[in-house]
Amino acid sequence: MRGTGGRLGGKGKFGADIPEALPFEKGQRLKTFIHLGKLFRQMWKTSPWLISLSMALRLLVAVQPPLVLFVTKHIIDEVVAQVGLGSAGSSVGDWVASGRLTPLLTLLAIEFALVLGRDAMNRAINVVDTILGESHSNAVSLELMQHAARLDLKHFEQSEYQDRLERARRQVGSRSTVISQLFGQAQAMITALALAAGLFIYAPLLILMLAVALIPAIWGEFRFNRLAYWISHARSPERRQLEYLRQIGASADSAKEIKLFGLGDFLFGRFKLLSDQILEENKTLNIRRALQTGALAAISTATYYAAYAYIVWRTLNGDFTIGDLVFLSASFNQLNGFLQQILIGFTQIAGQSLYLDDLFSFFEIRPEITDPAEPRPFPAPIQKGIRFDDVGFRYPGSDRWAVRHLSFTIAAGETLALVGENGAGKTTIVKLLTRLYDPDEGTITIDGVDLKHIALAELRTHIGAIFQDFLRYSFSAADNIGVGRIDAAADRERIIRAAEQSLADPVIRNLPGGYDQMLGRTFQKGQDLSGGEWQKLAIARAYMRQAEIIVLDEPTAALDARAEAEVFTRFKELADGTTAMLISHRFSTVRMADRIVVLENGAVLEHGTHDDLIAAGGRYAELFELQAAGYR
């Protein structure tokens, strides 16, 4: 973003200048108004009949204020006329019998009906808008989740995209009111036009005085709305830090370590520093806004009383009746209020449209890893195997090659282990195989079919992958396994079979609710598991998939050596005939693989069976000896 050189209160606490004007090109600012149309289409899609009902009710309410004033004028004039005729008697009955009360009672009944109807319709509008707003918020939340699910992994591993996602999330529940504001604007405009017509007929000069009263106040509101958005937009990284600190500072997952290391004061202090800095900027903005807009509002008030004095003077001169005086003064006052509401409302909507850009610009992000135009079927069952041919890959924004000139094969039905120090490229290989990323160089094929030629959903359906940082869902035990094959999540027999294969079945059956037990501590009656128990459930997800390819990336790091050996022994038995890739730092487990590939700096250093690599006396033998020495 580019500043304009001006500042609000000097440098901000984060070292950034706060500009006098929003640091966007005019064309970009105007573009944000297009989002209002997108928002309306979203809400119309959510509920056409609620939108239509809201508009119809507002139209009826819009014509009520001038009608009430017009009826009030006639009531006052009628009262003045009746006073001039003298008394019709000493009792109400005498007045009723004379018939002189009939016009007055009729006018009062009309005004009562108008006021009562307006109140009922306003309440109905509030109900409709509340239901519509919540429905729209839910619909947009779903759309946001669906769109995020389609994006590439890189969009979640880069801070820039995380900032955009955070800004989009903040707008989901708070921008549905913009359409209500627009409808309110239309309602106010209809009312204002009716009031202005009455004023123009009686005193055209009053319309000119309104313009003098409104323009300064509107300019102030418009300017400060833009500045408020700039601060919100520019502080997205700091707000994400605050949210992160808020989360880990009051989380069951982090409570043990915070207590053990005494991190409470450190986290609280950092949160307070960031929050105070943001608060200081917002406070400076709001104080200046209050002072400047207050001064401009005083101009509007002075102009109103000048207009009021003008109306009184003409009434004293006999140009207006008492009813006219009440009608004109009330109309001018209400029109002044409605025009301020309209013009300030438009500046607020303009500000809201800037925030809408945060939401809709996120929807404009498109994934780069997409389905081919003419996808080829996954070669199931696999006959030949998987081949990495001279593959090179760099993570977005990095000049360092994560893997380069990487070539190796995994034969059909073979269990291959990947070994290497941290940063050697093991997890990167898994991400490339599952097409979470595409290689920058070379090809990855299955039975000669390039992964890029297979539809993403079909490719991933045939791969069961579990990572070390697997999710611990606050779902039931059955659902924690069922997510491994969501289209079979209701198949309890399949879930139990997968749990038995991963050795998670005894863990689950010891829970109070068995497979229906809620896990985690997020929700009431949830029960947490140990790290090793969670990992057995995660491995069950891979078995649940019943895929042609199984990938286990450090999935047993929390298991002790014996438990890991049991899991992998069972895995080797069950994976017989299945193409499998496993990553583990424990060589007692790795040696169970049919073949081992040793990686260094993103390339294959050596490969072979455990015995072959030990006999070769290379890096694998060195690493194996170092680990074995720790058990002696």
Instruction: Output the six-digit token pair for 285.
Output: 């903005």
Rounded to whole angstroms, the Cα distance separating 37 from 43 reads 10
CATH of domain 378-462+581-632: 3.40.50.300
Q: How many whole angstroms separate alpha carbon 474 and alpha carbon 495?
A: 17
The predicted pLDDT at position 236 comes to 62
Mean pLDDT computed over 169-174: 66
Exposure string (b/e) for 417-427, b if CB count within 10 Å is 16 or more?
bbbbeeebbbb
Task: For residue 557, give Cα distances in angstroms to 154, 430, 474, 493, 553.
Answer: 25, 17, 21, 28, 10
- Look at residue 82 in the predicted model and tell me its pLDDT: 78
CA dist 70 → 64, 241, 556 (Å): 10, 57, 80
> Mean pLDDT lowest for which of 73-87, 186-200, 294-308?
294-308
- pLDDT for residue 1: 36
Provide the pLDDT for residue 309.
80
Look at residues 18, 35, 597 and name the one whose alpha carbon lies nearest to residue 349. 35
Query: Which of 194-208, 258-272, 297-311, 395-409 tops mean pLDDT?
Result: 395-409
pLDDT given at position 340 = 67
Supply the pLDDT for residue 98: 78
State pLDDT tens for residues 439-453: 999 999 999 999 999
CA distance linking residue 469 with residue 467, whole number of Å = 5
Instruction: Return phi, psi of residue 582, to 5°.
Output: -135, 150
Q: What are the structure tokens assigned to 384, written together?
A: 């030949």
**Average per-residue pLDDT in the chain?**
79
Structural domain boundaries in the chain: 37-363, 378-462+581-632
Region of 554 please: left (phi>0), alpha (psi -120 to 50) or beta: left
> For residue 477, what pLDDT is reported?
92
Q: How far apart are CA 131 and CA 174, in angstroms?
A: 14
Q: What is the pLDDT of residue 223?
A: 64
Higher pLDDT, 41 or 410: 410
pLDDT in tens, 1-21: 333 333 344 444 434 444 444
Strand partners, 416: 581, 595
Q: What are 363's two structure tokens?
A: 């929807």
Stated pTM of the model: 0.64
Above pLDDT 70, what percent of the chain?
79
Least confident of 85-94, 182-191, 422-431, 544-553: 85-94
350 neighbors 357 (Cβ within 8 angstroms): no
- Cα dihedral sign, 76-81-87-89: negative
CATH 1.20.1560.10 fits 37-363, yes or no: yes
What pLDDT, on the 0 to 100 scale, is given for residue 443? Answer: 95
Residue 376 DSSP SS3: strand
Digit-coded pLDDT (tens) for 313-362:
877 887 778 887 787 777 777 777 777 677 667 666 766 676 777 777 77
Give 392-460 as a DSSP string. EEE-TT--SEEEEEEEEEEETT-EEEEE-STTSSHHHHHHHHTTSS--SEEEEEETTEEGGGB-HHHHH
Inform me whether the pLDDT recorded for 493 exceeds 90. Answer: yes
The residues pairing with 552 across neighbouring beta strands, listed in sequence order, are: 466, 582
CB 595: neighbour CB atoms within 10 A? 18
pLDDT at 466 over 50: yes
pLDDT at position 517: 92
Contact 406, 602 (CB under 8 A): yes
Q: What are the pLDDT digits (tens) for 554-589?
A: 766 666 667 777 777 777 776 677 898 888 877 777
Q: Which tens digits make up the pLDDT trace of 22-61?
A: 444 445 555 566 777 778 888 888 888 888 898 889 888 8
